[in-house]
Amino acid sequence: MHGGRLVVVGASLAGLRAAETARKAGFGGAITLVGAEEHLPYDRPPLSKAFLDRGADSAGACVPTFRPVETLRDELGVELVLGNPALALHPARKAVQVFDREIRYDHAVIATGATARRLPATEGLRGVHTLRTLDDAVAVRAALDAGARTVVVGAGFIGSEVASGARKRGLEITVVEALPTPLVRAVGQAMGEVCASLHRRNGTDLRCGVSVTEIQGDGRVERVVLSDGSTVEADLVVVGVGTEPATGWLEGSGLTLDNGIVCDETLFTGVEGVYAAGDVVRWRNPAFGRQMRLEHWTSAAEQGAAAVRNALEPAAARPYSTVPYFWSDWYDSRIQFVGLPQADEVRVVEEHVPGRHRCVALYREGDRLTGALTIDGQSVIMKYRGLIMKNAGWDEALAFAEQRRAA
């Protein structure tokens, strides 16, 4: 294992895993972890789930910090440079610029993630939030604690989880989704409709096919005007309309940028010593033979580890291959998806029945199983992931589904 200096840019899950994995792999050189936020690395999935629950300790006891500072600094020997975003990458002199400091690297892993998209012309209007960072989550929780009438823009994961949290508190909530159903991009339209039923059954006012034309208020939000002409009174607006990969600081660096940092199968950027991981990377996933950018917990964690191994031992670099996986908890139901949502056919093999009965849908591309969605199907979802991993055919998947249904 070579020494030298490893610089990890981005101090969230992928970046943390890169730093930890380097040490686990025996890297004895210096490690610097650069983060834009002032906080120690923390876990994001809880921010739109348990963190929003009533009674969650606002003093910070439930802040989902991964490791105490002592572990990072003393046990892992990681230099923490937090509260400052990286401003530029200079491949010619192998350096990352952070504020007024240039940090030299021999190996670099870029894991700057993605930033939440905002609605235009809402800056300066209090009560309008995205939900991506810990600071966002603190603000949203405070508003929910105050009993805010809430409008969520976007019925994706973030928006839907906020709706679940608000309903759990008994608050009125309206979810506005421009597309015909929730989660169209994540699970396709047919199954998006099934997910929509979870909202309706739980008393959330879900309005699909309408967009926000204006958010009105004098200094702070008062109402949201929709494209169908209706208005909704609101004290809190949570915007969950997707993200942009955080690559602005890499313009002109020589890295290939195209909706993320474009990498090969080994997460190599093409610039010597520089690898990328997490939400910011668009790489060629050998499991499907195509390029993709994922925003899932599992791939971020795995890519952080894979990218740093490859960065430290480029001659032995191995491809990173994965069957994408995500989960989302809505009300009392758990939605889980494996694979890819773009499909020639989506077949429901177990119908959704309100209550605790699982729903299973399978996704076909050509004659291959490429995806599976379950609602409350914890006991079967990963078996489908296994089938997709081993390139199972459609017939085999249907036979398996039949056998599970009978069980």
Partner 1 sequence: MEIIVDRARCTALGICESLAPEVFEVDDQGDLLLKSNTVPEGQQGEVEAAIAGCPTEALRLRG
Name the residues that contact partner 1, by CB under 8 A: 17, 43, 45, 297-298, 301-302, 305, 323, 325, 327, 334, 336, 338, 358, 378-379, 381-383, 385-386, 389
Q: Is 96 exposed, middle or buried (0-12, 13-18, 19+ CB in 10 A)?
A: buried
Nearer to partner 1, 280 or 388 (CB): 388
The Cα–Cα gap between 271 and 256 comes to 9
The Cα–Cα gap between 303 and 301 comes to 6
Nearer to partner 1, 147 or 297 (CB): 297
Going by DSSP bridges, is the β-strand pair 333-339/345-350 parallel, antiparallel, or unpaired? Answer: unpaired
Tell me the closest approach of the beta carbon of residue 385 to partner 1, in angstroms: 4
Nearer to partner 1, 117 or 327 (CB): 327
Nearer to partner 1, 226 or 381 (CB): 381
Nearer to partner 1, 176 or 305 (CB): 305
Nearer to partner 1, 105 or 326 (CB): 326
Tell me the closest approach of the beta carbon of residue 25 to partner 1, in angstroms: 12
Tell me the closest approach of the beta carbon of residue 114 to partner 1, in angstroms: 18
Tell me the closest approach of the beta carbon of residue 176 to partner 1, in angstroms: 29
Tell me the closest approach of the beta carbon of residue 297 to partner 1, in angstroms: 5
Cβ atoms of 214 and 122 within 8 Å: the answer is no
Tell me the closest approach of the beta carbon of residue 88 to partner 1, in angstroms: 32
The Cα–Cα gap between 366 and 376 comes to 27
Nearer to partner 1, 220 or 357 (CB): 357
C-alpha 113: how far from chain center: 9
Nearer to partner 1, 342 or 378 (CB): 378
Tell me the closest approach of the beta carbon of residue 110 to partner 1, in angstroms: 21
